[in-house]
Amino acid sequence: MNKDQKKQEVASLKEKLTKAVNIIITDHTGINVADISVLRRKLKESGAELRIAKNTFLRLAVKDTDLEALQKHFEGPTSMVFGYDDSTLPAKIIYDSIKETEKPVFKSLMYEGNEYDFAFLKKLAELPSRDQVLAGVISTLDGVISQFISVIEGATRELVGTLDALAESRK
């Protein structure tokens, strides 16, 4: 890798770090290429990205930023999961992988500028996804709107019936 490519790699990492809503730092030791590929695909489908980078590049990317405290985790094989949209989906995927195979090894989680431990990753993974929450809200609103329409229709029918009865009585 020449000097320009290295600078470009650091700039790319810095951009991903600033765009990400949450960052999960792991050690990918012992994971074979096939398993990493499956993990990458699942994360990509959820709107996240798995990136394996040299610790030197990671240290340069977080230098002089709010994420500088993460440097203590940049030892040994380091992989980072950048979550861009839904924070729960990448956490679920990583948590499920750790539960099933004990890999990757969890190092840290950055969520909205704060650093968290494995217990928080577990809590985040157990939350319903954004789509599930929206579906619940929509179904609740749908039920309320349907009931409201039924009440309006009933009141309208009753008013028409009363007016018809009144018109009949005046004949």
Between CA 117 and CA 108 the distance in angstroms is 6
Between CA 22 and CA 84 the distance in angstroms is 7
Strand-pair partners of 79 = 26, 52
Assess whether pLDDT exceeds 90 at residue 66: no
| Domain extents in the chain | 3-127, 128-171
User: pLDDT per residue over 85-109, tens digit each?
Assistant: 877 889 999 999 999 988 999 999 9
80 burial via Cβ count (<10 Å: 0-12, 13-18, 19+): buried
Task: State what percent of residues in the chain have pLDDT above 90.
Answer: 53
pLDDT at 143: 84
Tokens for 96? 């499920």
Between CA 149 and CA 2 the distance in angstroms is 68
Nearest Cα neighbor of 25 from 99, 81, 67 is 81
Number of other CB atoms surrounding residue 22 within 10 Å: 21
User: pLDDT per residue over 117-148, tens digit each?
Assistant: 999 999 988 888 777 878 888 888 888 888 88
- Look up the CATH superfamily of 3-127: Ribosomal protein L10, N-terminal RNA-binding domain (3.30.70.1730)
Task: Please count the residues of the chain.
Answer: 171
User: pLDDT per residue over 8-39, tens digit each?
Assistant: 999 999 999 989 989 999 999 989 999 999 99
